[in-house]
Amino acid sequence: MNSSAGRFNRSVVRASDDLVARLNAQAVTTVYEAAGQKGALDSAIRAIVPGMRLCGRALTVRCQPADNLTLHAAIAIAQPGDVLVADVADFVEAGHWGEITTVAAQVRGVVGLVINGGVRDVAPIQQRGFAVFARAISMKATVKAVPGTINQPIMCGGVLVQPGDLVLADDDGVVVVEYDHAEAVIQAAIEREEREAEVMRRLEAGELTLDVLGFRKALDHHGLHV
């Protein structure tokens, strides 16, 4: 392939700001359950500092391990509200992202990074309020040599991520919601939240989870009674 046309795709469907905002109003765990327990990335990919959170549109990036050239290119293509989702083949012995890339991305409105490899410069990234979810932290350097792909389907954390999918992440992990299913998942999440509010009301009134959630039947099945 002798041009960037195939590797670097700029034509991607983009969810509305309203859709992103409604997803962002939900908890990661609620969205995961509402999506039929689909879309959860490997639990090893987590916030590099507790308390980080992001929600946005996936801009997918595939890099060679220990080579972040394509992440720099992705920053140039990124639009406000994007989340960079990067596949570096699970390579953790390099810091594919750091303070320099954070600053460049942040001024373009990128809301965060999800990567199945290593990153570095944790303290400056935290100070700048940029959300990063990674498999590892590594101080080791990268090269800038081999171009990968941008806005092509990738695998990250065991999940197929398509460009334009929605990404939500907090201290419980990262979940990806397929663009085509986002509206239905958000509605299901809202309904689940309403049901859980009633559960909480009953628990706070002193009822047991065994009764409120119907788990007592499972104990009864085994001849156990409490």
Share of the chain above pLDDT 90, in %: 97
Question: Residues 53, 57, 59, CA angle at the centre, nearest 5°?
Answer: 105
Give the domains, in start order, of the chain with CATH numbers.
Answer: 4-181 (3.50.30.40), 187-221 (no CATH)
- pLDDT at position 118, please? 99
> From CA 72, how far away is CA 210, in angstroms rounded?
52
Phi then psi dihedrals of residue 196, to 5 deg: -70, -30
- Name the β-bridge partners of 118: 136
Run of H or E residues at 194: helix 182-204
Non-local CB neighbours of 146 within 8 Å, separated by 6+ positions: 64, 67, 69
| Start-to-end CA span in the chain (Å) | 67
Tell me 37's DSSP state.
Answer: S
Flag whether 120 is marked binding.
Answer: yes
Share of the chain above pLDDT 70, in %: 97
> From CA 46, how far away is CA 37, in angstroms rounded?
18
Residue 120 pLDDT exceeds 90:
yes
Residue 5 confidence class, pLDDT cut points 50, 70, 90: very low
- pLDDT at position 186, please? 99
> From CA 131, how far away is CA 126, in angstroms rounded?
8
Per-residue pLDDT tens for 149-194?
999 999 999 999 999 999 999 999 999 999 999 999 999 999 999 9
What's the burial of 180, exposed, middle or buried (CB within 10 Å: 0-12/13-18/19+)? exposed
Under 8 Å between Cβ of 71 and 94: no
The pair of structure tokens assigned to 170 is 């907090």
Q: For the CA atoms of 137, 40, 171, 133, what is the dihedral angle to 10 degrees?
A: 30
Question: Residues 132, 157, 189, CA angle at the centre, nearest 5°?
Answer: 80
On average, the pLDDT of the chain sits at 96
